């Protein structure tokens, strides 16, 4: 398979394959936080995020949530359908943490009475600002119908992941999704991993995600490995 680099992000490389409708994602160990201000590496992260994302995409597929996932190729690579990414990050939250804690002045760990769905404009230069439906429309990022679909998919994905994780003694605090267009459909894209979700141990609330890197809490690799172990 020939491999032409199409795009390099902070944590992944995307390669063109021989099939014009497919791409190969290579998961790196590189980690950044605060829009690239903090940089580092998390040993084995690429391998673990590839494996964890594979498990979640397979689970979601079995529950009727379509994604770009085609198959896992090797330890660090995944074959996917090549999407035209919608420049809206969809964040779903069950428990107050991170930027929501700052925005509302509520303590981290407070359970929300119902899940919250937020949209962020996927634009590094602007620092991915929070936006609403009107901003999405004026920016021409997605139609109202598409946005309603992203919201419904976000909530469905939340229900599926939350239940599965809880059975493995993990609380799903919040997570980020990206979607893209493919053949007149909208598919879930990107990854679902400790880089893009907050996972807390169900008994102790110990953080098992990238917050350990963002906040210098130590035992970063161990947290990613722990999530992988519990899902297997
Ligand atoms: P936040 O509380 O910082 O807004 O993050 C909410 C969720 O989104 C959290 O699970 C981490 C994830 N996230 C990303 O995947 N990429 C990002 O760039 C940021 C800021 C958060």
Q: Whole-angstrom Cα distance, residue 182 to residue 141?
A: 15
Per-residue model confidence as pLDDT tens digits over 10-69: 999 999 999 999 999 999 999 999 999 999 999 999 999 999 999 999 999 999 999 999
Q: Which residues line ligand 1 (CB under 6 A)?
A: 91, 97-100, 128, 174-176, 196-198
**In terms of DSSP H, where are the helices of 82-219?**
98-104, 133-139, 144-167, 211-214
Q: Whole-angstrom Cα distance, residue 46 to residue 107?
A: 32
- Report the interhelical angle of 45-62 vs 220-231 (nearest 10°): 30
Per-residue model confidence as pLDDT tens digits over 79-119: 999 999 999 999 999 999 999 999 999 999 999 999 999 99
Q: Which atom of ligand 1 lies at the shortest distance from residue 97's CA?
A: 2
Mean pLDDT, all residues of the chain: 98
pLDDT band for position 204 (50/70/90)? very high
Per-residue model confidence as pLDDT tens digits over 136-188: 999 999 999 999 999 999 999 999 999 999 999 999 999 999 999 999 999 99
- Report the interhelical angle of 45-62 vs 144-167 (nearest 10°): 110
Q: How far is the CA of 118 from the centre of ligand 1 (A)?
A: 11
CA 204 to chain centre: 23
Q: How far is the CA of 200 from the centre of ligand 1 (A)?
A: 15
CA 228 to chain centre: 15
Q: Are 91 and 174 within 8 A, CB to CB? A: yes
Identify which of 172, 189, 196 to mutate to test ligand 1's pocket (most ligand atoms within 8 A of the CB): 196
Confidence at residue 3, expressed as pLDDT on a 0 to 100 scale: 81
Q: Which atom of ligand 1 lies at the shortest distance from residue 195's CA?
A: 15
Domains of the chain, each with CATH number or no CATH: 4-81 (3.30.200.20), 85-220 (3.30.470.20)
Confidence at residue 82, expressed as pLDDT on a 0 to 100 scale: 98
Confidence at residue 2, expressed as pLDDT on a 0 to 100 scale: 63
Q: Which residues pair with 95 in a beta bridge?
A: 111
Task: Look at ligand 1, atom 16, and give the residue with the nearest C-alpha.
Answer: 196
DSSP 54-82: HHHHHHHHHTT--BSEEEEEETTEEEEE-
Q: Which residues pair with 174 in a beta bridge?
A: 93, 198
Q: Whole-angstrom Cα distance, residue 224 to residue 199?
A: 10
CA 216 to chain centre: 21
Identify which of 98, 116, 122, 213 to mutate to test ligand 1's pocket (most ligand atoms within 8 A of the CB): 98
pLDDT band for position 1 (50/70/90)? low
């Amino acid at each position: 398979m020939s491999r032409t680099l199409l795009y390099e992000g902070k944590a992944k490389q995307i390669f063109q394959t021989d099939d014009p409708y497919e791409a190969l994602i290579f998961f790196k160990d590189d980690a950044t936080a605060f829009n690239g201000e903090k940089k580092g590496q998390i040993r084995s992260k690429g391998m673990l995020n590839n494996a964890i994302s594979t498990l979640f995409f397979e689970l979601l597929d079995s529950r009727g949530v379509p994604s770009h996932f085609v198959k896992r190729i090797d330890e660090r690579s995944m074959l996917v359908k090549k999407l035209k990414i919608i420049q809206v990050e969809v964040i779903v939250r069950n428990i107050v943490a991170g930027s929501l804690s700052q925005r509302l002045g509520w303590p981290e760990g407070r359970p929300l009475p119902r899940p919250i769905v937020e949209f962020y404009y996927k634009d590094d230069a602007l620092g991915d600002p929070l936006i609403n439906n009107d901003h999405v429309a004026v920016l021409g990022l997605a139609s109202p119908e598409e946005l309603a679909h992203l919201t419904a998919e976000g909530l469905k994905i939340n229900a599926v992941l939350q239940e599965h994780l809880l059975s493995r003694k993990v609380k799903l605090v919040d997570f980020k999704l990206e979607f893209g267009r493919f053949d007149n459909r909208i598919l879930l894209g990107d990854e679902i991993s400790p880089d893009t979700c907050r996972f807390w141990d169900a008994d102790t609330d110990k953080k098992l995600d990238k917050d350990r890197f963002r906040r210098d809490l130590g035992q970063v690799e161990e947290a990613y490995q722990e999530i992988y172990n519990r899902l297997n």
